[in-house]
Amino acid sequence: MKLAVLADLHANLEATLSVHVDLERRGISEIWVLGDLVGKGPRPREVLSWVQAHATRVVQGNWDARVAGASHRPQDLWPRSLLSAGDLRYLAELPYGIEETFARQVWRFVHAGSRGVFHRLYPHSSLQEQVAAFEPNPALGLHEQADALVYADIHEALMLDVEGLPLINCGSVGNPLDSTLSCYLILDFPDDQGGVGYSAQFVRLPYNRAAEVTAAEGSGMPFTREYITELLTGAYQRRRVRGVE
């Protein structure tokens, strides 16, 4: 079984469509999206529609929660104004995580770790914090002791060994901050239920960045300059309301 894991699309339609073409070329139809469908980019409605049409399973990201009503920053209010009440309800009701058994192991898929959608898990987080990310958290619907953890949020593809357990970040489709290329993850598990092991592959893709920049420039969205700079450089840009520290 081949499973494509996407995350942090961030309303970047051009990058999303580039991944779509690659998935079709590879014949992968099992698509799991680990949150942050919207926010930052200029086309939240179109990217959300793509996810609803093509994703097999979806979990909630921090930007999805914010745009759905968890906070009211300019960068939350602008995409919120473009989405329908049904769209916002969809984002608000997305599950926190997924736990499934593949290759005799419990795999957990979340956006930002196992403590909360606004709590980041970094590659430099303490070993204690990384180990804790595999533990159950029933309050968030995470009932199993995980053998493997796949997450997103930091926009940086990585694969770590945490006391013998794989900790994998799938990278970002729409807002990569370790490259200027879109990134997603392919997990390949044995087709027979008794099989063991897996393979993991990161896929980096170019996309029509010029068209995405043009869409952002014509959108009227807040923090256009910061968004475009991130697309062009892969370097995070802090967002501040002009004149306010």
pLDDT in the model for residue 244: 43
Beta-strand (E) ranges in 91-238? 97-102, 105-110, 148-151, 158-162, 165-169, 182-188, 199-205
126-144 confidence digits (pLDDT tens): 999 999 999 999 999 999 9
Res. 67 pLDDT band, cuts 50 70 90: very high
pLDDT in the model for residue 106: 97
3-state secondary structure of 158: strand
Residue of 121, 133, 113, 101 whose CA lies nearest to 198: 101
Residue of 34, 185, 30 whose CA lies nearest to 113: 34
Contacts of 155-158 spanning 24+ positions with Cβ under 8 A: 155/8, 155/236, 156/123, 157/183, 157/185, 157/202, 158/123
100-112 confidence digits (pLDDT tens): 999 999 999 999 9
Neighbours of 52 (CB within 10 A): 12
Res. 245 pLDDT band, cuts 50 70 90: very low
- C-alpha–C-alpha distance, residues 96 and 115, integer Å: 10
Q: How do beta strands 31-33 and 2-6 pair? A: parallel
Q: pTM of the full predicted structure?
A: 0.96
The residue to which tokens 């602008």 are assigned? 78
- The edge-to-edge listing of strands for the beta sheet with 199-205 is 57-58, 31-33, 2-6, 182-188, 199-205
16-57 confidence digits (pLDDT tens): 999 999 999 999 999 999 999 999 999 999 999 999 999 999
pLDDT in the model for residue 192: 72
Which positions ≥6 away from 210 have C-beta within 8 Å? Answer: none
Is the confidence at residue 171, as pLDDT, over 70? yes
pLDDT in the model for residue 115: 95
Are 76 and 67 a contacting pair, CB within 8 Å? yes
178-227 confidence digits (pLDDT tens): 999 999 999 999 987 677 889 999 999 999 999 999 999 999 999 999 99
pLDDT in the model for residue 242: 61
3-state secondary structure of 87: helix
